[in-house]
Structure 1
Amino acid sequence: MSVSRKVPEFPVWPQFDDTERAGLTRALDQGQWWRMGGGEVTAFEEEFSAYHGGEYALAVTNGTHALELALQVLGVGPGTEVIVPAFTFISSSQAAQRLGATVVPVDVDPSTYCLDPAATEAAIGPRTKAIMPVHMAGHFADMDALGKLSADSGISLIQDAAHAHGAQWQGRRVAELGSVAAFSFQNGKLMTAGEGGAVIFPEKAQYDEGFLRHSCGRPPGDRGYFHATSGSNFRMTEFSAAVLRAQLARLDVQIALREQRATLLSSLVDEIDGVEAQGRDERCDRNPHYMMMFRVPGITEQRRNELVDALIDRGLPAFAAFRAIYRCPGFWETGAPELSVDQLAARCPNTEAVYADTIWLHHRTLLGTEDQMHLVAEILAETLAAA
């Protein structure tokens, strides 16, 4: 078996067809290209919220702004703390830090890579204002345990659902879990307009405040410049919303295919000596699979990065995992806890292992054929053996 063999091309991403073209033309022909004069953003909010079992969706400029806006509505600001997973994309922490809050990184489960409830409970302090579980790669964090912790402590939950469009936890969709949820539509996400984000609020009062703050504090229909709150301009354009309406319409079909392919590929990967696919909690009964993630336990970060390069050379869209947020210089610029990197690392042993030995494949991999899933596993095994 030749180690130079490459996998055939996977489906491209982003995907689009005449539905997106028609939506863009529809938005163009309105003659009003921002949300206050057009209808695409409002229609998208209604469709996206209903799809996730909610009522109060607010479309915004990107996923980072979605988190920042949601946190602000929940009262996060100077003097407060926000608990986030130590293993996540850094927007999860920076959204809170930019509001003047202190971020407390907490360890993750070594199988699902999601926020550990026991470590979260141990990290709660008198200034804790919010807990932010990240549904890593589309797999829900333990929302039963975290929901109980939130109810018992009175601390708000905010779901970072940037990877979790269409996910379900014990039959319940993201907006049916009773907490604020923030989504991203960045170019690599499961549905995309290049950039974009959304927040789904469980309460209308939260939505109303979010609307004010995402529109420079200006009430809908205001003609006298009565800016009722502080805020910024996080408004989504009509063109982005038109594209996202088309993207949402094909999401179910894509999720169904990725679920099939991920089941097969995970079983194949687990058969490779020294490789472990991301685990699956049976309560997460619909995983949209933003990434196909797997670990090579015991490998060094340098060797992992060399393995990623080798997989790319073989035609796989492979990436190194996110760094632990406390190992990024940007984390320490503002809003960091009064602990050293070594102290945080000692508190987060699972994160230390996962960030250094994990690889992920772009979700377009899981839109490929069954034969391609077998070939992916074969290439991974061959590349590891050659290394």
Structure 2
Amino acid sequence: MLALHGGPKVRETPFPRWPQYDDTERLALIRALDQGDWSRHGGKEVQAFEREFAEHHQAPAALAVTNGSHALELALELVGIEPGDEVVVPAYTFVATSTAVQRRGGVPVPVDIDPGTFCLDPAALDAAVTGRTRAVIPVHIGGHVADMDAITAWAKTRGIAVVQDAAQAHGATWRGRGLGTLGSIATFSFQSSKVLTAGEGGALLLPDQDTYDSAWIRHNCGRTRDLNLVTASSNFRISEFTAAVLRAQLARLPEQNARRAARHAELTAALGEIPGVRLQARDERCTATPHYMTTFVLDQDVLGGVDRDTVALALLMEGIPAFGTYPALHRTEAFWTGRTGGARVEELAERCPHAERVGRDGVMIPHQALLGGRQEIDDIAQAVAKVLAGLPRTGTVPA
């Protein structure tokens, strides 16, 4: 019997907690405190973190900012997005991707995703481009790098800017190269659930010194290093304390990503044996990923209309951390509170069937579940099999 219906749980023991920390973070905070200057203007932690983060991703430069949303907004400002400009975004992503466009006064234009990788589908770009298209935001969803070869080539021939939303892709590589080598701005989040976290924070990887200098001024209230106010902007600076924690967390990232990669291979092998489970695929050119989420979609042709939200709840009751995927952007109320260019829900749903399916039938297992051992993997697979076998089918397969 399912735990949802009063039966015994598959797992009683908690999964590894997140974030993970020890005296390294404590000493880092004391180090920042003892500087006596807690601002990036006088301290050393922010500059050191930016240098280390850029090196980790093979980028010419990095700029630390307040959070991932601000990183996206600043990136869009840097590539020149103005009110009324259109920016192509994947229809399946966390809503912050489109919200950043709307907060610049731009119009996000959702396009469908690749049915395997769940990342923006380059084949959908031509139908979305207009004379007002100024940028495209590929999202490296779950840490899986989007098809940067095709997207970059498509954008270059049209004079369209590329901004990578890498909020979930810390340490990911494409063809063995860091995300800072791909010739475009990449933005990151350090929010509490991310594989690199200080509770909050964000960063941009910048492709050249001129872009870094412009970003630095704009994140500093529009003020140059010699205190001249040269443009209207805002304060996106982070504190020395945030940077000190991030430096400690960054030092852990390679080992944690390697551990997640090993466990993820075991988990996907086990889940792949369960009827009705369709796993997120990985482009072979994505040579490393932090596995921010292990995502699978319920194949309703096999499962006969089982309800995704009930599956996620039943897994939680079995002691497994599991959540429903993000809804497609056009299914999110927040999307419709900004500029949308006159699109309608039904139109976007028809144009983006793969995003519809992943948003409706997807289940996510968070990355900290991969920081344990083989027992954690076996428990997840056992619980998924138990839940899918034990829940009733509606008999109605969604279109």
Q: TM-score, normalised by structure 1?
A: 0.97
Q: Is 2:109 the counterpart of 1:107?
A: no
Q: Deviations over 1:51-78 (max 9, x none)?
A: 0001211100000000000010000121
1:169 maps to which of 174, 187, 194: 174
Aligned partner of 1:189 in structure 2 is 194
Q: Which letter maps to 1:283?
A: R
User: Alpha carbons of 1:301 and 1:273: their partners in 2 closer, same or farther (altered >3 Å)?
Assistant: closer
Aligned partner of 2:273 in structure 1 is 271
Partner Cα distance (2:361, 2:299) in 1: 6
Q: Is 2:257 the counterpart of 1:255?
A: yes
Aligned partner of 2:323 in structure 1 is 319
Give the conservation status (yes or no) of the 8 Å contact 2:9–2:317.
no
Q: Is 2:272 the counterpart of 1:243?
A: no
Aligned partner of 2:298 in structure 1 is 296
Aligned partner of 1:53 in structure 2 is 58
Partner Cα distance (1:161, 1:148) in 2: 19
Aligned partner of 1:337 in structure 2 is 341
2:78 maps to which of 57, 73, 86: 73
SS in 2 for 1:230: coil
Give the conservation status (yes or no) of the 8 Å contact 2:117–2:282.
yes
Structure 1 residue ranges, 4+ long, deviating more than 3 angstroms after superposition: 299-302
Equivalences for residues 21-32 of structure 1 within 5 A: 21-32=26-37
SS in 2 for 1:285: strand
Q: Is 2:164 the counterpart of 1:159?
A: yes
Aligned partner of 1:38 in structure 2 is 43
Q: Deviations over 1:28-70 (max 9, x none)?
A: 0011111111110011000000100012111000000000000
Shift of 1:326: 1.3
2:373 maps to which of 351, 369, 375: 369
Superposed CA RMSD: 1.4
Aligned partner of 2:397 in structure 1 is none
Identity within the alignment, %? 49
SS in 1 for 2:307: helix
Aligned partner of 1:350 in structure 2 is 354
1:229 maps to which of 231, 256, 267: 231
Q: Is 2:153 the counterpart of 1:148?
A: yes
Aligned partner of 1:117 in structure 2 is 122
Q: Which letter maps to 2:235?
A: N
Shift of 1:316: 1.0
Aligned partner of 1:136 in structure 2 is 141
Partner Cα distance (1:312, 1:375) in 2: 12
**Which segments of 5 or more consecutive residues in structure 2 lack a partner in the other structure?**
392-399
Partner Cα distance (1:31, 1:217) in 2: 26
Q: Which letter maps to 1:270?
A: G
Partner Cα distance (1:85, 1:129) in 2: 15
Shift of 1:300: 9.2
